[in-house]
Amino acid sequence: AQTVTQSQPEMSVQEAETVTLSCTYDTSESDYYLFWYKQPPSRQMILVIRQEAYKQQNATENRFSVNFQKAAKSFSLKISDSQLGDAAMYFCAYRRWRDNAGNMLTFGGGTRLMVKP
């Protein structure tokens, strides 16, 4: 079974600075997807960024980028130029390559990010 671990229950960052959230996972599969979801205090969880394991290039979405280290099974999220609106719970998630077994997401425990003005 796959597991996802987020070792930082809470993080804080000064506005405009950069912060990195850690995520490690365990799997015996070679093809899979990794995701970072953000859940602001309003509770709607939204997708921040995703990475296909077969891609060597790290995914980026504006101020959000990942450092995907497949051999180390590490998938960290870097937020540059942090803004107050980035304050949220961040969940790292794993999904198997699409197959008939289903498309469930396996989540880490989450990291609460606080942004200081």
Partner 1 sequence: EAGVTQFPSHSVIEKGQTVTLRCDPISGHDNLYWYRRVMGKEIKFLLHFVKESKQDESGMPNNRFLAERTGGTYSTLKVQPAELEDSGVYFCASSQDLPLGGSTDTQYFGPGTRLTVL
Cα–Cα distance measured from residue 96 to residue 114, given in angstroms and rounded to the nearest whole number: 31
- Which of 25, 36, 37, 90 touches partner 1 (CB under 8 A)? 37
Regarding 56 and contact with partner 1 (CB under 8 A), the answer is no
Measured CA to CA in angstroms, residue 20 lies from 23, 52, 58, 74 at distances of 10, 20, 14, 12
Kind of pairing, strands 3-5 and 24-26? antiparallel
Which is closer to partner 1, CB of 38 or CB of 82? 38
Contacts of 1 (CB under 8 A, 6+ apart): none
For residue 102, state whether it binds partner 1 (rule: CB under 8 A). Answer: yes
Which of 16, 47, 84, 114 lies at the binding interface for partner 1 (CB under 8 A)?
47
Name the site residues for partner 1 (rule: CB under 8 A): 4, 31, 33, 37, 42-47, 50, 52, 91, 95, 97-98, 101-110
